[in-house]
Amino acid sequence: MTDCIFCKIIAGEIPSRKVYEDEDILAFHDIKPAAPVHFLIIPKKHIPTLADATEEDIPVMGKIMTIAGKLAKQVGCHDGFRTIVNTGRVGCQEVYHVHVHILGGDKPLGVMLGMPAL
Ligand code: 5GP
Ligand code: ZN
């Protein structure tokens, strides 16, 4: 995808502060952290949203979820963290390349959601 910000980060066309990279996935710090630790894990394959993931994506999505804890510990989440995947309009997704947010630090993060717009 030529106009996808995260594909450009994968290609090295946009710089990022890398946490981890292998042949399938990339993890990098969020540019606008919402917690003392806030990084994103993405598949290198351009999958727009979690709702677009298919059976063929099970290995890469499984890899993302199972490496999350190890990476979180490495960057300062020693006693837990939160994972978030915003999906589509209702999920308020901003970047349409699926990504798992990892948020944490030393202190509890508080309630999971802000006030819903009822
Ligand atoms: P979403 O709302 O789609 O779940 O989250 C997108 C996230 O990507 C946001 O937290 C935003 O700060 C982050 N982001 C957007 N553009 C960039 C960028 O160019 N570099 C990095 N490192 N993060 C970005
Ligand atoms: Zn992309």
CA 83 to chain centre: 8
Single-letter amino acid, residue 9: I
Bridge partner list, 43: 25
- Count H helices, E strands: the chain? 2, 5
The model's pTM is 0.96
Q: Is the CB of 51 inside a 6 Å radius of any atom of ligand 1?
A: no
25 CA distance to ligand 1 middle (Å)? 16
CA of 105 to the centre of ligand 2 (A): 28
- Please list the pLDDT of the chain residue by residue as tens digits (118 residues): 679 999 999 999 999 999 999 999 999 999 999 999 999 999 999 999 999 999 999 999 999 999 999 999 999 999 999 999 999 999 999 999 999 999 999 999 988 887 666 6
CA distances (Å), 40 to each of 34, 43, 102, 108, 110, in order? 12, 10, 6, 19, 20
